[in-house]
Structure formats: C-alpha cells, structure tokens
Amino acid sequence: MKYLEKSITEIHEALLNKTVTSEQLIKESLEKSHEIQKKYNAFVTILDNAKPTEVTNELISGIPFGVKDNYSTKNVLSTGSSNTLKDYIPFFTATSIDNLFKKGAVMVNKTVLDEFGMGGTGTTGHTGIVKNPWNPLHMCAGSSAGSACAVATGVYPYATGSDTGDSIRKPAAYCGIVGYKPTYGMISRYGLFPFASSLDHCGVLTRNVEDAAIVVNTMKGKDKNDMTSWDSSGVDLTKTLKNDVTGLKLAYIKELCDIKKYKNADATLKEHLENFQRTLKICKELGMEVEEVSVDEKLLNSIASTYVVISCAEATSNMSNLTGIIFGPREEGKNYVEMIKNYRTKNFSPLIKRRFIIGSYVLQKENKDRYFFNAQRIRRLLVDEWKKIFESFDAVILPVGTGPAPLLEGSKDQIDNSTKALEEHLQVGNFGGFPSITIPNGFINNLPVGVNITGNCYEDEKVLNIAYQLESKMNYKNQIAKENN
Amino acid sequence: MKYKALIGIEMHCQITETNTKAFSSAKNSYTIIPNENVRPVDMAFPGTLPVVNKEAVKKSLMASMILNCKQPDYIYFERKNYYYPDLPKGFQITQETKPAPVGICGYLDYYVNDEIKRVRINNIHLEEDSASLDHKNNASTIDYNRAGVPLLELVTYPDFRSAEEAVSFLETMRCIYQYAGISEGDSKKGQIRCDVNVSIMDEDIDETKEENWGTKIEIKNVNSFSAVKDAINYEIQRQIELKETGTYDEMEQQTRRWDDEKQETVYMRSKVDAIDYKYFIEPNIPKFKIKQEWLDEIRGLIPELPNERKEKYISKYELNKKDAETLVKEKNISDFFERCIELGCEAKEASNWITTRLLGYLNKNDLNINDIYMTPEMLTEICLIVKNGKISTQQAKEVFAYVLEERKTPQEIIKEKGFEQNSNEEEIIELVNKILEENEQAVNDYKNGKTNIIGYLVGQVLKASKGKFNPGLTAKILNEEIRKR
Amino acid sequence: MSKFTKEMVEDYADKLLIGLTEEESQMVLNEFDVIDQSIDVINQIPNIDLVEPMSFCLDDLEVDLREDEIEESISIEELLQNCDETSDREVEVIKVVG
C-alpha cells in the first residue's frame, strides 16, 4: 500500500475515507524504521509503542512523523546525538513539537544528527554515521541527516530538522527531498538544544513543498518561552502556494554560478551548474524574470569564516551547561573541575572540542574585535547585500553546494581553506534569518542535487509559492530514494 | 595621617519585590525548602531560554533614576561565561558597560553624620543570581531556588575616603532600595553582598588625577556592612604598613577576600590571572527599546525617599532631627509611624512610643517590626485610650508591654488585667474620706492655708487605689470633700 | 610561522574544561591558521570597523517583556530525574572548595 510514500493531503484523505487507519500507518512506519535503521543508521530511538491518534480535520492527525534528536521530547530519550546526553530523558517537550502533538501528529522515532547539529556530514553522531539512501557509500550531509534519510526513504511524509548553517537545506538536497527553514522566530526554539542561538532555526524535511507549508503552519507561532518568536497567526503558508508567479523576479549571483569563476572545475561541478541553468530556464517558462547580479567576492569568500567564528563562539557558551552535574552521566574527579573536565573530555567528539576552542579563542578580550566583532560586522554586510538584492527581486535562487553528496570515505568535517563560497552560501540565510527552501532539481551520477530559493524576512509565502510552482514543472516531487547501483 | 585612601564599592542587591525571577517565571521568594521555586531554565535544561521580567527591568530603571544615572535607549543583556557548580548555564546573564546597562554616569548625595557627601556612580546593571551551595562533610549540595533571582549591581567610583563614608553610603542605598519597593535589603538573608576596592596614596598628592592612584586591591565577598567597615580598615592599615616598610611598590594589583573569622583580607589571585569572561550579547534576548513614555511613567512611580520623609517629619510633624532620622532609617518603621498618624495618633506621641519603647524592644529581641504582634492600629488605640483618660500613661506602658508579650489586643489586656480606670464617684468619695481621716495633720495644714498639700493627698488616694482611680476626678472630689471638713 | 602555539591551544582547552589529544590540538592549530587567513581578508574590507556588529537575525524585532506572573514550579522528581547524584531535594557534587 505504501501510504507513507504519499503526500500529507493524500494520506489524510485516505484516513478520512478509512481506507487506512492511524494504527496501520504507525505499524508500517515502525517496520520501515527498523529496516532503514539496519541499512542507513538513521535513528537514535524507534518508538515501538507509539500510539495512534484520532483522525480529525487536522491534516497531520493520525500521521506518523520523525523528530530530530536535538528536540526535547517529554519522557523520550533526547540525546542531541551526543554522549554527553546519552541517557537524558526530558520532562518537557519543545514547543514546536508540542504544537504538532496537539494537532494529532504521531512521533515514531528520533533521528540522528551531527553531534548537537555541529557538522555537515551526518557522521559525528554518537550512534554512528548515517548513510545516503541513494547510495550508502555517500553521506547524507548534516546535520539533519537521519531526518533527511528517513523522509527520503518513505518512513513518513515529514520529519523535523534544525538549521544553523544549512543543516536542513543541504541534507535535503543530497537526499533528493525538500528542506525548508522559515524566517527566524516564526517557529519557537524553546526545547531545541541550542548550537548557535542567533543562527539556529527550526524547520522541516518533506518530499514536496505543500507538505513543508502544512507542517510549518502547525509548528509555528509566538511562544512565551522564546522572546525571539513572533506572532504569525495571520499567516497561512498553504494559502498562496498555487498563486501565479508570472512577473516575479529572481536573482542569482554571478560570482557563485558562473563556471568560468572556477579554474579547476571538475565535470561534476560543470554539470551541477549547467543543471542549475536548466532550472533557471524553467523559472522563465513559468513567467518569472531571472537576472544575474554581482556580489563582492571578498564578502562571498568570507561567508565560511564568518559562520565558523560566530557559530563556534555561541556554541562554546551554549554548551557550557553540559557538565554532568544536573543531567548526563556523572563522571568522577578529585574536585569539581576534574569532574566536569572528565565528563566533557570523555563525551564530546573531537570535532566539537575543536570548535569550542576556536569559539573560546575568538571571544577572548584581546581577540574579540579582530575575530568575533569583525565576523559580526561581515554578517551585517552580507545581510545588507542580500537585502539590497531583495529590494529589486522577490527571491535569490542558487544551486545547493557544489554537486551531489560526497563519498563518506575521505570526507572531512574540518574547516578547510579550499572551501568554496558555493559550498557555504546557504549560511547567509541564517545570518539574516531569511526564509529559505531547498527542492530537488535533478541527478548527477545517479545522486540527487538541489536548488535553493531564499527570500526576505517575513516573505515565506512568496518563497514557498515560487518553490511550489518550480517543483510542479520538474519531475522530482514526492520521489522516494532507491539505491541505483 | 600621611596617607589617604580611595575606596570604591560594588554593591549587589537582590530585587526581592518582584513576583518572579529575572529571566524565569519561577517564584522569586526566599524559602528554606530546597528547589521549591524552580522553572526549567533555572537549572539550564537543554533547550530552555531566558525571558526578561518586565517588573525587574522597571525596578532597575527606577534605581537608575534615583541614582541620577542616564538610562539607555535600548536594553541588551550579555553573557558572562565561567564554570562553577552554582552556575547551571555556565554563564551568568548580566549587563556589561557596553552596549548599555540600565544606568550609567550617575551620582548620589548621602550624609555622613551631618555632612553631605557625593559619590559618583559608574553604572548600575541588572543580572541574575547564582544557585546556592551548601557544604557538608565530603560533599556540597546545590539548591537552585536562588538561581535567576534578579540582582542589581551598582559600581561606584573610588570616591569614598573612609570606611565610615562607604558604610554610610551602603546604609543609604539599602534604605533607598527599601523605600522604592525594590528590595527588602536584608543582609542576613544574603540579599546584599559587596565587593570593595581600596588603594592608598600620599596625603598631599592630587587624587583627581587617575595616574596618581595607588595599586587597586579588590576585596571579594564582603557580606555585611560591619565586614565592609572592618575589611576597609584592615586593608588600609595593611597597605600603610607596606608603604612604611618600603615594600608597597612590590605589591601587584590583586584580588583578595575577607576572612570574617580571622578578621583579615586574604590573597586570592593576581590581576594577571584575572578570568576572561568572554562577554558577548545574549542572542536569545532581542534588544529592547526603552520608550520615553515608560521612563516617564516609572519616574512618576518613585515613592517618597528617606530624606524627603525626614524633612517632612521635622517641618510638618515638628519632630526633632534625631527622632526623624531614627524613624526613617528603616522603611518598615517609618511606614508604621505614618500609618499611626493616618489612624489619628498624634505625631509626637507616635514618635515617642516608636523611638523609645518599640525600637528598644525590637533591638533587644533582634526582631523585625513586621514580625511582632503590635500593629499601628494597636499603638494608636493605646494613645487614644490614654488621651480619653481611660487609663494612665503609666498603665499604658504596661499595656504596651503586655500586648507584645502576650500577643493580645490592648482592649483584651485592659479587660483581663483590670487596667480600666475607676470613675465611680461613690467609691472615690469613700476612699478620699478614709485618707482624709488618716491624715488629720495634713487636713489641718490645708485649713491653715497650706493649699498645696492637696497634691500630696491626691497622690495618697491614687496610691491606695493602686492607680485605678481617674486622677482628675479624684482631685476634684478631694477638693470638695476637704472643704466640707 | 604560525602565531598559534600548542601551549596556547592547550591553555584554552583547559579553561573550557576539556582535554585534547596530541592529534586534536594539531588539528585546531591548522584550523586556526585557516581562520586567521580569512580574517585577514575581512580586515582588508575598507572601513570595516565602522560597521555595527550584528548579533541578531531580526535587528528590528519589537518584543514585549514578560509580565511578572508566577508559573508553577517543576516537581522535584522531574527536576532530579536525570541527576546521577542527589541528596534529599538537592543536587550533590564533590565538595566545592574555594
């Protein structure tokens, strides 16, 4: 029957017509979870005793979904994929997840991420690496690796993600699905384990744009427990999806998309950029205007460092509560310093430890201006640059990354001098809090690739509208991952 | 003396008069039951976020105004990062001088004996208190009731020249905090804590030039006003001795702590080892615009402060300066006094009762005026009963004491102890004649023109009545009866 | 010659209460160099020091402060359910001195 490979509205119809029950969906989803776990290691916890809920007029009622394991879930293990919290069972549920529960959504598993979201490979979680369901020799990317893998394989129609640099939007591209993070503060972050608070966004991974709109519609809302959340009660993300896009204006950045800018471009990059140009052509066929714009290369080349400096600084502070004193496995020590140090040394992965040191360094009094404040200044310049584009354009459209998912073997999650702006530009969406969505736009070497649409703050409806129309002119809507080799 | 001292104070005072904590909606209240007033953010559970208490900000701004500080256009908070078991988040939310705390560049005029002095205020800021540690034999226990309680820290310039000045200022400030409804200001409950800095310089050098200042020694955790006095005096003496022995120049800038038992300051760490707190703006608290209307509203809410009350007591109620000062020293006492006047008690009467008997009782028993049975209503009643001649002043003193001891109302005491004055004329006439018969000589003296003997005879009658007869009525009757003879 | 040294990295690690292996601290050193180079690029941007550092996504967000209303305290069982060492109603740690 494979109901779970369908869209939310289709499953909802089936539930209403009683051709399937919530119980059957959950059973199917749990069976699939175990199968996917064996093949790709996507889950920290599978909730075998998940209970069906009443089917109501709410689209998501009775339908199973997955939760990234950095969301706090009451009475369900919530680890952040870190050994520091390997036994942590919260007594409260994140606001956005609670919003889904209230409408009858059924959580069936908790998905693997890069430890606390700090990483882009899906390989640093404490339960091991997550493999790409299109080809298990490749990565899913991260940090929402498990969520992307599970949605792509049809475990359920959607899973929540979180996005600090591109942690929803890149794994979505590598797994051939949709990844959407709305404007900063549209979804409450209360209960999301923080990585870098000023960049962290909640969001969702789905197989089509409409599902993304449906799920975020439910997750969003002003929360008294999150001062950065705002009232979006007047916004219905599904309402304007099907609007005509004729006359809307899209910009793409020459310095990122022009193959001539890359001296040693390989065949994959060439194909990726050509494929992007084909997508632009579809946009034009839809009646949109597409123009090339120019952004100072110096700024573009600073994106990655700006991100590293700001995110590491905030992270080192955000994770100072991880001492093993109130929660987490307590360590021994001659005194409290030793006790905390043993806990942190033993339980943090090497990647995180390195990033903490960078974060700490850039905040030191004598370094703060050169590193931290300068990064925050570049953040503003980049955001201003994007906002300037939004004055004349409805959205920015850009390819996601430099191609499809890299191989797991030999991939490194280090800050590398050769990192290209093309690989990291999605981080600007986090700098500015912009609504940003990735949709699949083709295949290279039998692996999916994606395209990203980013708009100005509070213009989520427009971004989703463009993405929906573009999606409808391509052949990748609702695709399910299958190993081709 | 060859030297003069420059003394500065950092005064931390809990805001006790809000319902909830600074960044959490847990109850802000002192309790002996551990972990009774705790919300998730107070123990830094992963995913929890701070939410700023409007009332705490309001009270902070009020304090800023009273201290003649400049208020900022926007309020930000910052993280002060360090590890200690009483700090669950691994950072304290506070306000550094940049971008802007609730107040900067202020001053306060205060009295030392009869002399008016001015101290400049560098800044005043709002922050959160830490948890409290309790040390047992081999372990320490952590109670999070105090974690997150709003704390006002004010930092003065080194404008004090003596321990007396510093303590007078602290007493004035405590008084202001009480009057303004900001804090109970009880050091016994740890609500006020101070850090003190002391340097000395030669008497004849210009102290207005900062380059002339001596080496600044900071003394941490001085937790009572008497300790402030002792610590300053000890430190001045210690530094003078270093000067005298020629080793002052070797002394490095350092932090010391006050050892209350040994009555000395003890070396903690050198300036070189100062902790770098890696301050940065708290990203979970958006900057908040302080509107002029709000400031105006808060200014209008500043209640009458001690100095204003003192002036009023002298000019309006014609109290002497000493009594006026005594009354305003504690807000509770002053409020008690004002309530008595509202109830119809004469100001001087009330003042006499309070400054002598009531305060005497409180001091002797180490009690707070709110903890005793006597209310302004009861004291006023006693005054009025005396005025109506129902009981004598002497009896009133006894009633007063009984009310406190037996926790009964004045009416109950008067009834039970038979304090009611006797105005039964027949009884008085009978006793008067008995006394006149016993004092034949005195009656003869009276008849021979020695009329002032009357006073003696009235005294004898009252004595015989055990003070129960109304003295006026007794005198009248005695005059009548003696003439009959 | 890098301006970053192994001792420096170890000192930072120590202050963060984490221990590093030899290999890890070498990796940090390499990363420092990469960051430093790109910060050099940033510093070449004219008048960069005149730009106001950006700390929030939504610089213009207007927020309300929280009304001073008490919310019920969390039960002691829930507060301590993840704590490995407790004593009655409190969290217990090895004796804290100084």
Q: Three-class SS of residue B374?
A: coil
Q: Are A139 and A57 in the same domain?
A: yes
Share of chain B above pLDDT 90, in %: 65
Report the DSSP beta bridge partners of residue A131: A139
Q: Are A451 and A304 in the same domain?
A: no
- What's the domain range around A308? 300-377
- The mean predicted confidence, pLDDT, of chain B is 91
From the CB of residue A127, how many other CB atoms can be counted at a distance below 10 Å?
18
Task: Round to whole Å and give the CA distance between B171 and B225.
Answer: 8
Tell me whether residue A365 is exposed, middle or buried, using C-beta atoms within 10 angstroms of its C-beta: 0 to 12, 13 to 18, 19 or more: exposed
pLDDT class for B118, splitting at 50, 70, 90?
very high
- Which of B229, B263, B295 is a domain's end point? B295
Answer whether the bond into residue B99 is a cis peptide, omega within 30°.
Answer: yes
Q: What is the pLDDT of residue A415?
A: 46
Interface test with C, best of B74, B275, B287 (most C CBs within 10 A): B287
Question: Per-residue pLDDT for A402 more than 60?
Answer: yes
Measure in Å the smallest separation between the Cα of B45 and chain C Cα atoms: 9
Q: Are B366 and B479 in the same domain?
A: no
Q: pLDDT tens digits, residue range A168-204?
A: 999 999 999 999 999 999 999 999 999 999 999 999 9
Question: Per-residue pLDDT for C98 more than 70?
Answer: no
Task: Round to whole Å and give the CA distance between B193 and A358.
Answer: 35
Residue A275 lies in a domain: no
Q: Are B256 and B359 in the same domain?
A: no
pLDDT class for B421, splitting at 50, 70, 90?
low
Q: Is A167 a catalytic residue?
A: yes
Token digits of residue B135: 């040390």
Q: Are B82 and B195 in the same domain?
A: yes
Task: Round to whole Å and give the CA distance between B398 and B403.
Answer: 9
Q: Is A68 a catalytic residue?
A: yes
Question: Per-residue pLDDT for A155 more than 60?
Answer: yes
Q: pLDDT tens digits, residue range A403-413?
A: 999 999 875 55
Q: Are B348 and B250 in the same domain?
A: no
- Which of B390, B417, B444 is a domain's end point? B417
Query: Whose structure tokens read 């829930």?
Result: C78
Does B31 reach chain C within 8 Å, measured CB to CB?
Answer: no
- What's the domain range around B472? 425-484
Question: Per-residue pLDDT for A418 more than 60?
Answer: no
CA neighbours closer than 13 Å in the CB half-sphere of residue B201: 17
Tell me whether residue C78 is exposed, middle or buried, using C-beta atoms within 10 angstroms of its C-beta: 0 to 12, 13 to 18, 19 or more: middle
Q: Do A326 and B51 touch (CB under 8 A)?
A: no
Token digits of residue B144: 């999070």
Does B255 reach chain C within 8 Å, measured CB to CB?
Answer: no
Q: Which residue of A has its CA nearest to C69?
A: A224
Token digits of residue B332: 């509770």
Residue A143 lies in a domain: yes
Q: Are A117 and A9 in the same domain?
A: yes
Residue A450 lies in a domain: yes
Question: Per-residue pLDDT for A1 more than 80?
Answer: no
DSSP state of B155: E
Q: Are B124 and B245 in the same domain?
A: yes
pTM of the model: 0.90
Q: pLDDT tens digits, residue range B316-344?
A: 999 999 999 999 988 889 999 999 999 98
Chains that touch C (3 or more CB pairs under 8 A): A, B
Residue A269 lies in a domain: no
Mean pLDDT within A75-89: 98
- Which of B373, B397, B417 is a domain's end point? B417
Measure in Å the smallest separation between the Cα of B330 and chain C Cα atoms: 27
Answer whether the bond into residue B315 is a cis peptide, omega within 30°.
Answer: no
Give the pairing type, strands A106-111 and A64-68: parallel
Mean pLDDT within B144-173: 97
Question: Per-residue pLDDT for B470 more than 80?
Answer: no
Instruction: Report the b/e string of A421-452 with b at 16+ CB within 10 A.
Output: bbbbbbbbbbbbbbbbbbbbbbbbbebbbbbb
Contacts of A376 in chain C (CB under 8 A): 53-55
Task: Round to whole Å and give the CA distance between C54 and C58.
Answer: 9
Of residues A29, A33, A61, A68, which has the active-site annotation? Answer: A68
CA torsion sign for A67, A68, A71, A73 is: positive
Task: Round to whole Å and give the CA distance between A331 and A290.
Answer: 58
Q: Give the lowest-confidence range in A344-358, A438-452, B15-29.
A: A344-358
Task: Round to whole Å and give the CA distance between A80 and A349.
Answer: 12
Q: Are B397 and B434 in the same domain?
A: no
Q: What is the pLDDT of residue B149?
A: 98
Task: Round to whole Å and give the CA distance between B44 and A372.
Answer: 25
pLDDT class for B156, splitting at 50, 70, 90?
very high
Name the residue with higher pLDDT: A111 or B449: A111
Q: Do B56 and C89 touch (CB under 8 A)?
A: no
Does B130 reach chain C within 8 Å, measured CB to CB?
Answer: no
Query: Whose structure tokens read 């009981």?
Result: B391
Q: Are B465 and B375 in the same domain?
A: no
Q: Three-class SS of residue A79?
A: coil
Q: Which residue of C has its CA nearest to A368?
A: C53
Residue A43 lies in a domain: yes
Q: What is the pLDDT of residue B390?
A: 78
Question: Per-residue pLDDT for A419 more than 50?
Answer: no
Q: Are B433 and B399 in the same domain?
A: no
In this structure, are residues B85 and A325 in contact, taking their beta carbons and an 8 Å threshold?
Answer: yes
pLDDT class for B358, splitting at 50, 70, 90?
very high
Work out how many domains chain A is built from and give that number: 2
Q: Are A93 and A237 in the same domain?
A: yes
Report the DSSP beta bridge partners of residue A202: A162
Name the residue with higher pLDDT: B97 or A406: A406
pLDDT class for A417, splitting at 50, 70, 90?
very low
Q: Are B317 and B360 in the same domain?
A: yes
CA distances from A398 to A252, A438, A452 (A): 6, 9, 5
Q: Are A89 and A210 in the same domain?
A: yes
Contacts of A198 in chain B (CB under 8 A): 283
In this structure, are residues A107 and A69 in contact, taking their beta carbons and an 8 Å threshold?
Answer: no
Question: Per-residue pLDDT for A319 more than 90?
Answer: yes
Report the DSSP beta bridge partners of residue A453: A397, A437
Where do the domains of chain C lie?
1-49
Q: Is A143 a catalytic residue?
A: yes
**What are phi and psi for residue A447, nearest 5 degrees?**
-120, 145
Q: Are B13 and B146 in the same domain?
A: yes
Q: pLDDT tens digits, residue range B57-86?
A: 999 999 999 999 999 999 999 999 999 999
Closest partner residue to B284 among A224, A227, A326, by Cβ? A227
Residue A421 lies in a domain: no
Chains that touch B (3 or more CB pairs under 8 A): A, C
Work out how many domains chain B is built from and give that number: 3
- Give the 3-state DSSP-derived string for A36-67, with helices as H, strands as E and coil as C: HHHHHCCEEEECCCCCCCCCCCCCCCCCEEEE
What CATH number does the domain containing B435 carry? 1.10.10.410
